[in-house]
């Protein structure tokens, strides 16, 4: 009896956390619903629920006409009503909501941590972004998102310089982008889950190549120092290398580098060592909770480092759910953590894990990371629909 009671604590906390993320958050602004006027949950006539602040932001100022951000059904702001089940659930859970993460976010940054110096994008400019990359020649920032044009390119100041990749059913269109990379010769490569393909564009948005029929669910994509492209296939559990003649738009060779991965998604390549990091999301067993595993392979595809959620929990006070992975310029593995809204350094693969928090506050749902040549860290925050630029505090 005592063992069952003690084991129910973590399970209950996980249930509360899942309830908050799935039911008690506005899926437009990603703020938590509440009893205060602006955060009250409102039913739209179609059945979707958003907060009152988002109803006001989406509605036309004179006619109050608005379009549901999820199903696009037209309605009027005055046709909304309080969502009583969500309000009752808020009362039922009360102070059980997010006690640990709030304390964690309030903690000061560790010495040598990164602080935010610039933010750009925002709701409307970006919509539910999923992928982030830098052009190695121009330094421009490329983002894949759910807007009408799926690829948006920003200049160094955060202004929109260009966008392309229409939302549509054509082979040259992009249905559901998951990740993006930019090659050494400035070609943009997108993984499209909608038709399970890899799509290559030049930097001005002209389609050069569509690679279909070879993947079950292409997810993460990254450029290698040799201008190859590595791609994870989440459904097939594999990692692929593509060699492409980008100017000619010709696929020269494909190679399966790994075939026994467990739901691989994110992928990163170290330009210092050539190592490849893969982020696995193996399914949970019985509890419904899914962990993550970071695996690092040498250029010859030998496993040189591995750490999972359980291993990281021995070094960090809260559960870690890695959502993105990259390498810094020294060859350290850096991950984004959606559970504690943080960015963590795991150290070099042969030293796993030497865990050091880099960013511990200011993030909501980080999904992609990349470093600039000047060693700034760009974080794609999908909940804020924005890119946040962090710089190291050396003082």
Strands 342-347 and 356-359: antiparallel
Over the range 287-299, which residues count as b (16 or more CB within 10 Å of their CB) and which as e?
A: eebebbbbbbbee
Cα–Cα distance between 288 and 344 in angstroms, integer?
Answer: 25
Q: State the pLDDT at residue 13.
A: 64
Tens digit of each residue's pLDDT, the chain (395 residues): 444 444 455 666 666 666 666 678 887 777 778 877 777 888 888 888 888 888 887 877 777 788 888 777 888 767 788 787 887 777 766 545 544 433 333 333 333 578 999 999 988 899 999 999 999 999 999 999 999 999 999 998 899 999 999 988 888 899 999 999 999 999 999 999 999 999 999 999 999 999 999 999 999 999 999 999 999 999 999 999 999 999 999 999 999 999 999 999 999 999 999 999 999 998 764 444 568 999 999 999 999 999 888 777 776 667 788 999 999 999 999 999 988 889 999 999 988 878 888 998 889 899 999 999 999 999 999 988 999 999 987 54
C-beta separation of 71 from 284 below 8 A? no
Among 25, 59, 94, residue at a domain's last position = 94
Cα–Cα distance between 327 and 330 in angstroms, integer?
Answer: 8
Total number of domains in the chain: 2
Which residues are 387's β-sheet partners? Answer: 120, 380
* Residues 55 and 170 placed together within one structural domain of the fold: no
* Residues 195 and 165 placed together within one structural domain of the fold: yes
For residue 56, what is the domain's CATH number?
Answer: 3.30.40.10
* Residues 67 and 156 placed together within one structural domain of the fold: no
* Residues 150 and 211 placed together within one structural domain of the fold: yes
For residue 330, what is the domain's CATH number?
Answer: 2.120.10.30
Domain encompassing residue 129: 113-393
* Residues 200 and 267 placed together within one structural domain of the fold: yes
- Strand, coil or helix: 58: helix
- The answer to whether position 331 is within a domain reads yes
* Residues 180 and 151 placed together within one structural domain of the fold: yes
* Residues 71 and 129 placed together within one structural domain of the fold: no
- The answer to whether position 77 is within a domain reads yes
* Residues 68 and 134 placed together within one structural domain of the fold: no
* Residues 27 and 150 placed together within one structural domain of the fold: no
- The answer to whether position 342 is within a domain reads yes
- The answer to whether position 176 is within a domain reads yes
Cα–Cα distance between 176 and 172 in angstroms, integer?
Answer: 13
């Amino acid at each position: 009896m005592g063992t069952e009671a003690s084991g129910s604590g973590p399970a209950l906390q996980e249930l509360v956390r899942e309830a908050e993320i799935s039911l008690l958050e506005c899926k437009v602004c990603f703020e938590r619903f509440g009893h205060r006027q602006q955060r009250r949950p409102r039913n739209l006539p179609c059945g979707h629920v958003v907060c009152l602040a988002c109803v006001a932001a989406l509605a036309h100022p004179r006619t109050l006409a608005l379009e549901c951000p999820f199903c696009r059904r037209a309605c009027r702001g005055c046709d909304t009503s309080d969502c009583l089940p969500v309000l009752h659930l808020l009362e039922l859970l009360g102070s059980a909501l997010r006690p640990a993460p709030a304390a964690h976010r309030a903690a000061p940054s560790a010495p040598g941590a990164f602080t935010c110096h610039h933010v750009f994008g925002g709701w409307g400019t970006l919509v539910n972004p999923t992928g982030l990359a830098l052009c190695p020649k121009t330094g421009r920032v490329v983002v894949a998102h759910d807007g009408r044009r799926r690829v948006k390119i920003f200049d160094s100041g955060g202004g929109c310089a260009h966008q392309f990749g229409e939302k549509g059913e054509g082979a040259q269109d992009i249905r559901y982008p998951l990740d993006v990379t930019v090659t050494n010769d400035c070609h943009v490569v997108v993984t499209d889950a909608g038709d399970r393909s890899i799509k290559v564009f030049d930097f001005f948005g002209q389609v050069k190549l569509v690679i279909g029929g070879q993947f079950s669910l292409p997810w993460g994509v990254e450029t290698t120092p040799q201008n190859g492209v590595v791609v994870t296939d989440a459904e097939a559990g594999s990692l692929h290398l593509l060699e492409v003649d980008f100017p000619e738009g010709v696929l020269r060779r494909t190679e399966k580098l790994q075939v026994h991965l467990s739901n691989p998604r994110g992928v990163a390549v170290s330009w210092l060592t050539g190592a490849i990091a893969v982020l696995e999301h193996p399914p949970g067993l019985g509890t419904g909770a899914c962990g993550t595993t970071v695996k690092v392979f040498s250029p010859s595809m030998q496993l040189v480092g591995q750490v999972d959620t359980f291993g990281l929990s021995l070094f960090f006070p809260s559960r870690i759910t890695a959502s993105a992975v990259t390498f810094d310029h020294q060859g350290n593995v850096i991950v984004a953590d959606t559970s504690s809204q943080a960015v963590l350094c795991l150290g070099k693969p042969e030293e796993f894990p030497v865990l050091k928090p880099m960013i511990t506050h200011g993030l909501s749902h980080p999904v992609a990371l990349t470093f600039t040549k000047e060693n700034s860290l760009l974080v794609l925050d999908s909940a804020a629909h924005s890119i946040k630029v962090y710089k190291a505090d050396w003082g």
